[in-house]
């Protein structure tokens, strides 16, 4: 996408603290995500890589959008409904979608790459853009979601009814980008499969193998039908062995690039990204505040 668009890749540390974080871990993970983005191929000469909390315009526009958002809209968001039964849910989780809308609208975004579970958030973003524009005058673009079909919803390796999440209590349920090759092979080997042994794509009757096939397709570039044909006379064992090879082959170069990056070089990239992002975000926020009636500084 960075070959055809100007990409803004934001490290969402403000969203991270909707769940309590240890300061040292938050700091480490923020730099770690930046390193991963670079290792995965984002080019700071073509894309703007920045940390959310370093651009104050995000929280300021997020607050303005809060005042346009009925609380019922936020309470209906799927992710809030899933988590609100847990003890200790904080207000930040409820307001997460308005901050996400600010993240998007500040950069006049045309498209937003998301998973299937985030489409609802993009719909709210469009709604808030329309509300602001209708009340104060044309200001924000209405963005569209960009969803990759095969990986719109990657499910857990131990339970194909739940989405894959690095916050899972079971490390065997997900593949981390920095997992050692043998760890990846072991996790794939013990991943849940369906009854029978046919490698065939069917989300209803074979949800586990279908999930693994989607992962295989994403890492190999081979279509689902081609995968079925490739393993038509083979069982789950051989398929899993090949899947592990494909994943290790794709992730090993990323891990090498990750290890070669220094903290100083990453901070230099983020500083450059902060300046580029702030220039656009501040301009958008200034226009929005002026139209909403705030005094100029």
- pLDDT bucket at 166, cuts 50 / 70 / 90: confident
Given a cut of 80, whether residue 82 has pLDDT beyond it is no
Domain definitions of the chain by residue range = 7-150+262-292, 171-258
Average pLDDT over residues 24-41: 97
**Average pLDDT value for the chain:** 95
Q: Where are the alpha helices (DSSP H) in 8-160?
A: 13-16, 23-39, 57-66, 71-75, 78-83, 91-105, 119-136
Kindly indicate the confidence band of residue 138, based on its pLDDT and cuts at 50, 70 and 90.
very high
Overall pTM surpassing 0.85 (yes/no) = yes
pLDDT for position 54: 98
Chain centre distance of CA 129:
21
Q: Is the pLDDT of residue 110 over 70?
A: yes
**Half-sphere exposure in the Cβ direction for 187 (13 Å, CA):** 24
Q: Is 8 helix (H, G, I), strand (E, B) or coil?
A: strand
Q: Given a cut of 70, is residue 194 above it in pLDDT?
A: yes
Q: Catalytic pick from 141, 163, 290, 291?
A: 163
Say yes or no to pLDDT of 85 above 80. Answer: no
Supply the pLDDT for residue 109. Answer: 96
Higher pLDDT, 86 or 130: 130
CATH of 171-258, one of 1.10.240.10, 3.20.20.370, 3.90.1300.10, 1.10.10.10: 1.10.240.10
Q: Which CATH superfamily is domain 7-150+262-292 in?
A: HUPs (3.40.50.620)
What integer is the mean pLDDT of 152-172?
92
CA angle 191, 196, 200 (to 5 degrees): 80
Any catalytic annotation for residue 267? no
Task: Find the catalytic residue in 28, 46, 84, 166.
Answer: 166
- 163 included as an active-site residue: yes
Beta bridge partners of 144: 111
Query: Does the annotation count 230 as an active-site position?
Result: no
pLDDT, residue 78, reads 80
Counting residues of the chain whose pLDDT is more than 70, the rounded percentage is 99
């Amino acid at each position: 996408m960075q070959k055809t668009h100007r990409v803004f890749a934001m490290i969402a540390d403000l969203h991270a603290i909707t769940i309590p974080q240890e300061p040292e871990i938050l700091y480490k993970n923020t730099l770690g995500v930046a390193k991963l983005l670079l290792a995965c191929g984002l080019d700071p000469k073509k894309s703007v890589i920045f940390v959310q909390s370093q651009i104050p315009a995000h929280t300021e526009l997020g607050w303005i959008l809060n005042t346009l958002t009925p609380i019922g809209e936020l309470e209906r968001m799927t992710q809030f409904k899933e988590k609100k039964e847990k003890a200790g849910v904080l207000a930040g989780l409820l307001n997460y979608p308005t901050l996400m809308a600010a993240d998007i609208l500040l950069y006049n975004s045309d498209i937003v790459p998301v998973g299937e579970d985030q489409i609802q958030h993009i719909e709210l973003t469009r709604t808030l853009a329309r509300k602001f524009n209708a009340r104060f005058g044309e200001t924000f673009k209405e963005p569209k979601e960009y969803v990759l079909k095969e990986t719109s919803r990657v499910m857990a390796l131990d339970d194909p009814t739940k989405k894959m999440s690095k916050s899972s209590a079971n490390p065997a349920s997900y593949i981390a980008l920095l997992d050692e090759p043998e760890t990846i092979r072991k996790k794939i080997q013990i991943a849940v499969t369906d009854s029978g042994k046919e490698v065939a794509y069917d989300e209803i009757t074979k949800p586990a193998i279908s999930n693994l096939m989607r992962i295989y397709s994403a890492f190999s570039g081979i279509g689902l039908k081609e995968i079925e044909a490739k393993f038509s006379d083979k069982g789950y064992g051989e398929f899993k062995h090949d899947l592990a090879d494909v994943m290790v082959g794709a992730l090993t170069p990323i891990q090498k690039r990750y290890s070669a990056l220094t903290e100083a070089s990453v901070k230099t990239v983020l500083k450059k990204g902060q300046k580029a992002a702030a220039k656009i975000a501040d301009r958008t926020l200034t226009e929005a505040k002026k139209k909403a009636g705030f005094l100029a500084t």
